Amino acid sequence: LHLEYLLAPNLATEKEDGQDVVWGLTQPQKSLSPRYFYDDRGSQLFEQICKLPEYYPTRTEAWILQNYATQIAQMTGICELVELGSGSSSKTRLLLDAYRGLGYPLRYVPIDVSAGILKASAKQLLADYPTLQVYGLVSTYELALQKLMPTPLPSRTICFLGSTLGNFNQAQCDRFFAQVTAALQPGDYFLLGIDLQKPKDILEAAYNDSQGVTAEFNRNMLRHLNWRFGGNFDPNLFEHRAFYNASEAQIEMHLSVKRSHSVHLKALDLTVQFREGETLLTEISRKFDREQMQKYLAKQGLKLRQTWSDPNNWFGLMLAQV
């Protein structure tokens, strides 16, 4: 059998895009969706973040997968792997290795808003796993989950790794889980990676790295908006700020405005005033509690089958079943 690789470009509609930008920039606390971090340059910067000494989540989750991927594969049996926010797919390789080791057929559906990184990593995967079938979707999670075709394999596992769930507030979480469970059949699985609560200094260091990569990643969102919506943000007028908000149990990343100025976004017909000292919220990264998450999953109709963690209990990987 030959490898299949299908890319559906621009599934994400531009129309749906701009509206949340207009909304976010006209609220009292200005904000933007973290998915605007991920143009091709942003995805590259994120890959650099994952290798930073201060940024523990990626290597901690990878450690869990290195140790338990075979157990996960044994529990799910033969299944199609759908990955939301697949990026470089480097952690996914640990899962693919486990399924391959058990002699299971490999079918992978990576979903990402960044076409560049999706294409490059799908090509590399096809070269490295000769029996793999890949169906990539360049899309937001919401649209891709609606577009999933029935799988020819006995079941499906939707993977949501890296604690990307932390980007969603409670209302967004509720909506997201409704979309996920709608894309699953009874017996299907959901594999979720979550960053767990831990001392503030460890958390804050992870989002304020000494090399300034996170600061660059944060400001890159403005460059992305400039080319995407014909904007004239000057990234030099914004400073990276990241801190732990303990009462909300979340890291917040802001861009702090150095001096008052206005910004115009042509394609959105929008002019925005920024005051000196005002901040633009670009990301929340929630830190979760295992027991609370288990209860929450149950409320969403997902039965927790197992949780794996690292020796420090810094990160959790949960396998749930519909």
| Residue 301 Rama label (left phi>0; alpha psi -120 to 50; beta) | left
Query: Widest CA span of the chain, in angstroms?
Result: 61
Give me the residue whose beta carbon is nearest to ligand AVJ. Answer: 285
Q: In angstroms, rounded to a whole number, what is the distance separating the alpha carbons of residues 160 and 116?
A: 20
| Interaction between residue 57 and ligand AVJ (CB under 6 A) | yes
Nearer to ligand AVJ by C-beta: 253 or 272? 253
Nearer to ligand AVJ by C-beta: 157 or 285? 285
Nearer to ligand AVJ by C-beta: 139 or 163? 163
Choosing from 83, 112, 252, 283, the residue that interacts with ligand AVJ (CB under 6 A) is 283
Q: In angstroms, rounded to a whole number, what is the distance separating the alpha carbons of residues 146 and 262?
A: 38
Interface pattern 214-233 for ligand AVJ (x via CB under 6 A): x-------------------
In the complex, the smallest distance separating the C-beta of residue 121 from ligand AVJ, rounded to whole angstroms, is 16
Nearer to ligand AVJ by C-beta: 106 or 293? 293
The answer to whether residues 215 and 242 touch, using CB atoms and an 8 Å cutoff, is no
In the complex, the smallest distance separating the C-beta of residue 101 from ligand AVJ, rounded to whole angstroms, is 28
Two tokens at 170?
Answer: 């409670």
The answer to whether residues 110 and 83 touch, using CB atoms and an 8 Å cutoff, is yes
In the complex, the smallest distance separating the C-beta of residue 2 from ligand AVJ, rounded to whole angstroms, is 33
Q: In angstroms, rounded to a whole number, what is the distance separating the alpha carbons of residues 231 and 153?
A: 45
Interface pattern 27-56 for ligand AVJ (x via CB under 6 A): ----------------------x-------
Inter-axis angle of helices 56-76 and 40-50, to 10 degrees? 90
In the complex, the smallest distance separating the C-beta of residue 195 from ligand AVJ, rounded to whole angstroms, is 7
124-163: contacts with ligand AVJ (CB under 6 A): 162-163
In the complex, the smallest distance separating the C-beta of residue 200 from ligand AVJ, rounded to whole angstroms, is 15
The rounded Cα 166 to chain-centroid distance in angstroms is: 9
> Residue 142 phi/psi, 5° resolution?
-55, -50
157-176: contacts with ligand AVJ (CB under 6 A): 162-164, 166-167
Q: In angstroms, rounded to a whole number, what is the distance separating the alpha carbons of residues 162 and 180?
A: 17
Report how many residues bind ligand AVJ under the rule CB under 6 A. Answer: 11
- Integer angstrom CA distances of residue 61 from 13, 214, 224: 32, 19, 28
70-89: contacts with ligand AVJ (CB under 6 A): none
145, with CB counted inside 10 A (0-12, 13-18, 19+), is: buried
Which residues of the chain form contacts with ligand AVJ (CB under 6 A)?
Answer: 49, 57, 162-164, 166-167, 207, 214, 283, 285
